Structure 1
């Protein structure tokens, strides 16, 4: 039996379509845009009325009615507040975005993959898995960035090879690449490293599932990025450099990736003592 989601109430489809275009036009990624619109559809079904008949108290009551993790609640409320901030410039709305509760991000919970998990995935008979694991665990790429790697994005300078990485929101950055990875990428030609049907390359979801099947249960491809961040910071102590390699806008985001070992914290205290 196929279970279909309830349709959103009348009056939502057109503004959600316009808001989707606004998000994409302002540089939000397809994944972020999809997340925001999905939350708004959930909200619309819950309040069961048109978008211009909703009031701030409806937003608060909707949030209060759910037992969500902090980051889930934060995402939900940000999505609704963002929509009404955009809509207030075009319509008479009953929701005051400034009065929608804000939720702080949860405490950092880094989940780096351990060496055994990475070694296991590196033994995969599928070259795509082996190379994707290296790109995530050795230079810290997101799964969406791995999906978009092209041979022609390799560049050579006086210090060695680097890769132009196509990151979130259409932002590009240049990341140094070990010689062995550069040679392996070159071996697959100048085009997409992982060809597919998503604008010529595979989707982030597809590459994530492919790598995930080679990792132990409960370990995701994103955990490889956490592992890179943790090891990079432990070996260099340079948070800003790690931030730049990962493509984070803020060092606070980078800190959420770092699983700092107890012995490192002890060394800090003993260095002062």
Structure 2
């Protein structure tokens, strides 16, 4: 079986199951990257090879979980459509989701990144840090999503599970979006058009993440900009339900994992229970 030759049919099945185009592209990217890593003489469905690939020590837990999900969906499809006799991924235990501490990117780090960034990257950073958008949501922003209201600009955000939300933009984020749109030919609808393999569409979410991550130093990433938005939004409103809506989360428990500790308030509380008079 030529696994690479099967990919177009598999992605057609994904689209038929009402998965968003962003999700389809991400799943295809993961599987294609895996198949390109397999030597010619190796069976791409060899369990030990798959396990070794997923055990990459350089990957973060989220990357491993996402890649494993893509490979599992692919091998399940191969099995259920009779292309393989057994599903090798069924033998690998589900990845355990780790509970991590929120890591909002410091404003000083963001300002420094902005100083060394171009117009396109400015818009990406502002949409993540001041609007809380995921990289997949940033990638698909189009001209029709930018709404000019009496009170300021808002953005229609295309979130996970085909869920849309309308998000007010800060003046700085709105200005950054406008500057980027001014650089894009008017016949192109996307804020971040792709110039690569998918030249007729938007930049891929993976690429958006790479660009933002490269602009930030050390351990700071595009996702920590989203943590920053959640933390500041909650600090300003003290309304977790509102922040949940702004973030596009389905559960408040998820939002709570993004909100960083207000250390100044926490120190006041701790100082108040000190035994020292």
Q: Contact between 1:29 and 1:168, CA under 8 Å: does it hold in 2?
A: no
Equivalent-residue separation in structure 2 for 1:116 and 1:139 (angstroms): 18
Corresponding residue for residue 234 of structure 1: 235
Identify if the C-alpha distance between structure 1 residues 262 and 172 changes in structure 2 by more than 3 Å, giving closer, same or farther.
Answer: same
Name which of 107, 110, 127 aligns with 2:119.
Answer: 127
1:21 maps to 2:16: no
**TM score, norm. by length of structure 2:** 0.68
Q: Once the two structures are superposed, what CA deviation does each residue of 1:146-198 show, in whole Å capped at 9, x if it has no partner?
A: 34333432235576532112345655332122345445645646754445534
Corresponding residue for residue 199 of structure 1: 200
Identify if the C-alpha distance between structure 1 residues 19 and 202 changes in structure 2 by more than 3 Å, giving closer, same or farther.
Answer: closer
1:227 Cα deviation from its structure 2 partner: 1.0
Equivalent-residue separation in structure 2 for 1:65 and 1:135 (angstroms): 31
1:115 Cα deviation from its structure 2 partner: 1.2
1:232 Cα deviation from its structure 2 partner: 1.5
Equivalent-residue separation in structure 2 for 1:262 and 1:195 (angstroms): 40
Equivalent-residue separation in structure 2 for 1:251 and 1:129 (angstroms): 30
Corresponding residue for residue 4 of structure 1: none
1:264 Cα deviation from its structure 2 partner: 5.1
Name which of 52, 62, 65 aligns with 2:51.
Answer: 62
**For this pair of structures, how many residues does the alignment match?**
257
Corresponding residue for residue 105 of structure 2: 113
Identify if the C-alpha distance between structure 1 residues 32 and 171 changes in structure 2 by more than 3 Å, giving closer, same or farther.
Answer: farther
Identify if the C-alpha distance between structure 1 residues 23 and 126 changes in structure 2 by more than 3 Å, giving closer, same or farther.
Answer: same
Name which of 126, 138, 141 aligns with 1:149.
Answer: 141
Equivalent-residue separation in structure 2 for 1:192 and 1:250 (angstroms): 30
Corresponding residue for residue 216 of structure 1: 217
Equivalent-residue separation in structure 2 for 1:46 and 1:267 (angstroms): 62
Corresponding residue for residue 104 of structure 1: 96
Equivalent-residue separation in structure 2 for 1:104 and 1:158 (angstroms): 46
Q: Contact between 1:120 and 1:214, CA under 8 Å: does it hold in 2?
A: no
Segment drifting more, 131-140 vs 150-159: 150-159
Name which of 86, 92, 108 aligns with 1:94.
Answer: 86
**TM score, norm. by length of structure 1:** 0.69
Q: Contact between 2:54 and 2:64, CA under 8 Å: does it hold in 1?
A: no
Corresponding residue for residue 28 of structure 2: 33
Corresponding residue for residue 247 of structure 1: 248
Corresponding residue for residue 275 of structure 2: none
Equivalent-residue separation in structure 2 for 1:86 and 1:46 (angstroms): 23
Q: Contact between 2:27 and 2:70, CA under 8 Å: does it hold in 1?
A: no
- What SS is found at the alignment partner of 1:165? strand
Identify if the C-alpha distance between structure 1 residues 269 and 25 changes in structure 2 by more than 3 Å, giving closer, same or farther.
Answer: farther
1:247 Cα deviation from its structure 2 partner: 2.5
Equivalent-residue separation in structure 1 for 2:56 and 2:243 (angstroms): 35
1:139 Cα deviation from its structure 2 partner: 0.8
Gaps of 5+ in 2: 273-277
- What SS is found at the alignment partner of 1:223? helix
Equivalent-residue separation in structure 2 for 1:103 and 1:149 (angstroms): 31
Gaps of 5+ in 1: 1-9
1:116 Cα deviation from its structure 2 partner: 0.5
